Amino acid sequence: MEPVTLHINGARHRLFVAPHRTLLETLREDLGLTGTKHGCELGECGACTVLIDGTPVLSCLTLTVEVGDAEIETIEGIGSIARPHPLQQAFARFGAAQCGYCTPAMILTAKALLDRDPHPDRETIAEAIAGNMCRCTGYLPIVRAIAAAAEESG
């Protein structure tokens, strides 16, 4: 086991982890942050996406011991029940979250996009979420929701 200090959603977590433990396992199983979803574990579905220093990263392919110095954001750090993030509000309004399994990763991927490009066109939005699979929506409501959140943020 190796010591590691993780910075997640503005809080520090000191823990001991096995060198082969993935960030996905640590988030869900050691820290109870189950908003990050466990999909294929092969880097193909995108459901496990978190932000590391503002960039979308697949937590199933990331070793926990490698990200000790980084700022990690998970869906638990984005908005709250009382004050949802504008992206979360737009996803609800446009029916962009149906079963919801892809939604945390979609929201985080969209947030990273809008943080670097506040007014993306629809093609850019579709490209940004291309690594995130959704089996329910057909993607159009997701693209519309992200575009609406971008418009509303001015």
Per CB under 6 A, residues contacting ligand FES are 38-41, 43-48, 58, 60, 97-103, 134-137
3-state secondary structure of 120: coil
Tell me how crowded residue 61 is: count the other CB atoms within 10 A of its CB. 13
Query: Residue 136 CB, nearest distance to ligand FES (Å)?
Result: 3
3-state secondary structure of 122: helix
State which residue, 5 or 84, has the beta carbon closest to ligand FES: 84
Query: Residue 133 CB, nearest distance to ligand FES (Å)?
Result: 7
Q: State the Cα angle at 82 between 77 and 84, rounded to 5°.
A: 50
Query: Residue 24 CB, nearest distance to ligand FES (Å)?
Result: 6
Helix (H) or strand (E) holding 49, with range, is strand 49-52
Which letter does DSSP use for residue 130 in this model? T
> How far apart are the C-alpha atoms of 120 and 20, rounded to whole Å?
37
State which residue, 3 or 100, has the beta carbon closest to ligand FES: 100
Query: Residue 109 CB, nearest distance to ligand FES (Å)?
Result: 12
State which residue, 6 or 58, has the beta carbon closest to ligand FES: 58
